[in-house]
Amino acid sequence: MPDSFWEALLRPFSMFFPNGGIYVEIMAPDGRFALFVLMFLLLWVLGRQRVLKQAQVHVMFALTLLVGLSFIPWLITSGNGRYFMYCLFVVGPLLVMCIRALPTTAEFRLTLIFFAMSLQGYLLCLTVPWNNWNFFPWSRGPVFKVVWPEISIKPNKRVFVSVSSLSYSILAPQMDAATQWIGLLSLDRREERVGLFEKAKRKLADAERIDLILPAILDHMDRDGLPDQAMRLSINDMVAPFQLELTEESNSCYLLPISQSSDNDGGASLIGQSAKTPMFSFWQCHLKVAYKQSISSKKEIPEIIEAALNQLELICPRFFRTGESSTLPLNGGGLRNYPGSDMKIYAIPQSGVFYKYYRSYQITRVGSVEDVAAGHFTLDCQQLRGRAGLPWERQI
């Protein structure tokens, strides 16, 4: 989302720059909006008297008004390109309509259209977006099929939870439609999500069985392919804020092997290899509701560290949202990660308090731990390194 009216006004030109985070997560430069603005201004200056007499131009003006007004709710609510998809589809034909209305020769108009298509095609070739987020390549059929353990529980009384921003929705169709899924990472105690948090707690309390789904980690497997003791403590740390913990039973976790699908030719070799080695397998761990805080493997975070980190949340709540992150131990201090704004903050004794935006190469010091905890510091939330300013102004 833009930080100022000036940034909002120049968003069509910001989209031209291939920075991640300008309007979509991956690198995706889009020059069509900037070109359309320039062509529209040229059209208005050179031939508005003649152009306005063309009947088809009224359609172009109506479409231009629609796209222009659509920027307002888009930038206010998210600024994320995935929620602006219809305008991303419309702007290409709209640019062609604008060029065709120019009071020039047909040859010159065709040259401009060819230039616009070539420029956008060149930008696309520089930052090919396809397969950026793929874990498994396949051509048809299901990607893989997980072998689930036989557990006799009514589907509507069984809840699967995850502790990742990824939903693992590819697993859901393999379960009964009545099975319930909850992404714990999407829940917090912020005011606007209190209702969702309480609803999830009621579902967990009413469930006959709660299972955690997470990818198996090779470095934390025991001989049977199950989570080792360190991993089990980490699991308890992750689910403890939601009053959950692993059950004490010896078979509380299962390895979910990936079986090769007979009707899948495209990913058969990769899936077959994954079935032999648990590289892409999942763990399913049985959880129980724990009304006491579970034992944590984390070291106690000093109060002054928590106080320093809390100060940044008070000063810049838009980027460091209270309740979105818990403190992780780091070098005698603490770290908080804010996935909603792609920000991290650090408080390290003898070093100070720092913040870092994910597109920035270096961390930025705010002040000493003692000064920040006491509120004796200044931080301009509109000038955060890597995040603030237009793309060509950002310091990384």
Q: What confidence tier does 59 reach under pLDDT thresholds 50, 70, 90?
A: confident
Residue located via tokens 């705010």: 366
Question: Is it the case that residue 99 has pLDDT exceeding 80?
Answer: yes
Residue closest to 94 by CA, chosen among 22, 47, 35, 15: 35
Rounded to an integer, the average pLDDT of 164-190 is 73
Alpha helices (runs of H) in 151-267, residue ranges in sequence order:
194-206, 229-239
What integer is the mean pLDDT of 111-132? 85
Cβ-contact 171, 222 below 8 angstroms: no
For residue 116, pLDDT over 90 is answered with yes
pLDDT score for 152? 67
Task: Give, for 124, the enclosing helix (H) or strand (E).
Answer: helix 106-126
pLDDT at 266: 40
3-state secondary structure of 225: coil
pLDDT higher than 90, residue 130: no
- Closest C-alpha to 273, from 68, 127, 84, 136: 136
Q: How confident is the model at residue 188 (pLDDT cuts 50, 70, 90)?
A: low
For tokens 């602006």, name the residue: 84
Q: Which two tokens stand for residue 145?
A: 């099929």
What is the structure's pLDDT at 173?
A: 73
Query: Span 119-126, mean pLDDT?
Result: 87
pLDDT for the residue 344: 92
Higher pLDDT, 312 or 340: 312
Q: How far apart are CA 310 and CA 321, in angstroms?
A: 10
Rounded mean pLDDT, 220-241: 84
What pLDDT was estimated at residue 137?
Answer: 57
Greater confidence (165 vs 161) lies with 161
Residue showing tokens 């949340």:
313
More confident residue, 395 or 120: 120
pLDDT at 299: 58
Kindly report the pTM of this predicted structure: 0.62
pLDDT value of position 273: 41
- Would you place residue 36 in the very low, low, confident or very high pLDDT band (cuts 50, 70, 90)? very high
Residues 260-311: tens digit of each pLDDT: 554 444 443 333 343 344 456 888 899 888 765 544 445 578 889 999 999 9
C-alpha 164/C-alpha 358 separation (Å) is 18
For the chain, the average pLDDT equals 80
- The encoded tokens of residue 19 equal 């920075």
What is the C-alpha to C-alpha distance for residues 303 and 268, in angstroms, rounded to an integer?
53
Alpha helices, DSSP H, located in the chain: 5-9, 11-14, 32-51, 55-77, 85-100, 106-126, 194-206, 229-239, 268-276, 303-315, 369-373
Label the pairing between strands 282-289 and 333-338: unpaired
> How remote is the C-alpha of 48 from its chain's centroid?
44
Q: Confidence class of residue 243 from pLDDT cuts 50, 70 and 90?
A: confident
Q: Which residue has the tokens 């990936």?
A: 258
Long-range contacts of 162-169 (CB under 8 A, 24+ apart): 162/212, 162/213, 162/214, 163/212, 163/214, 163/238, 163/239, 164/214, 164/215, 165/339, 168/213, 168/282
Q: What is the DSSP letter of 299?
A: P
**pLDDT band, residue 118 (cuts 50/70/90):** very high
